[in-house]
Chains A and B, each alone.
Chain A
Amino acid sequence: MKFRPLTTLLVAALLSACAPLLAGLLDSTPAPQAVQTASAPLANTRVDESGFRALLEAADATRHSINALVAAGAIVRNSPKALAIRHGVLALHDALAAGQALLDALNNPVITLSPADFVAKLDQYRSAMRNATDAAREITDALSGAN
Chain B
Amino acid sequence: MDLSAIARQVLDVGRKVLPMLTGGAPEVVAAIHSISTLIQGVKPHADAPTAAELDTLYASVQAGLLDTADRLGDG
- Find chain A residues with CB under 8 A from B22 CB: 3, 7, 11, 72
Tell me the residues in window 59-75 of chain B with beta carbons closer than 8 Å to chain A beta carbons: 60-62, 64-69, 71-75
- Stretch in A36-44, A89-97, A110-118, A120-128 touching the partner: A89-97
Look across to chain A and name the residue whose beta carbon is closest to the beta carbon of B35: A61
Q: List 26 A-B contacts (CB under 8 A).
A: A3-B21, A7-B22, A18-B35, A25-B42, A28-B3, A49-B54, A53-B41, A53-B57, A56-B54, A60-B34, A60-B60, A60-B61, A60-B64, A63-B64, A64-B30, A64-B64, A67-B27, A70-B72, A77-B71, A78-B72, A83-B72, A90-B69, A93-B62, A93-B65, A93-B69, A96-B58
A125 to B4, CA, bound (A): 26
> How long is the Cα–Cα vector from A77 to B61 in the complex, in angstroms?
21
> Total interface residues on A, using CB and 8 Å?
51
- Contact present for B72 and A64 (CB under 8 Å): no
- Residue B31 at the chain A interface, CB threshold 8 Å: yes
Given A49-B48, A53-B49, A61-B35, are A1 and B27 also a contact pair (CB < 8 Å)? yes
| B13 partner residues in chain A, CB cutoff 8 A | 14
Say what secondary structure dominates the interface of chain B. helix
Asked if A34 is an interface residue, CB under 8 A from chain B, the answer is no
Per a CB cutoff under 8 Å, which of A53, A72, A77 touches B72? A77
A7, A28, A67, A77: the one contacting B31 at CB < 8 Å is A67
A102 at the interface (CB under 8 A from B): no
Q: How far is the CA of A82 from the CA of B18 in the complex (A)?
A: 23
A54 at the interface (CB under 8 A from B): yes
Query: Once the chains bind, are A50 and B44 in contact (CB under 8 Å)?
Result: yes
Q: Which of A1-53 contact B (CB under 8 A)?
A: 1, 3, 7, 10-11, 14-15, 17-18, 21-22, 24-25, 28, 48-50, 52-53
Interface string of B14-31 (1 = CB under 8 A from A): 100110011001011011
Partner of A22, one of B35, B48, B54: B35
Cβ-defined contact, B44 with A67, below 8 A: no
Those of A86-108 within 8 Å (CB) of chain B: 86, 89-90, 92-93, 96-97, 100, 107
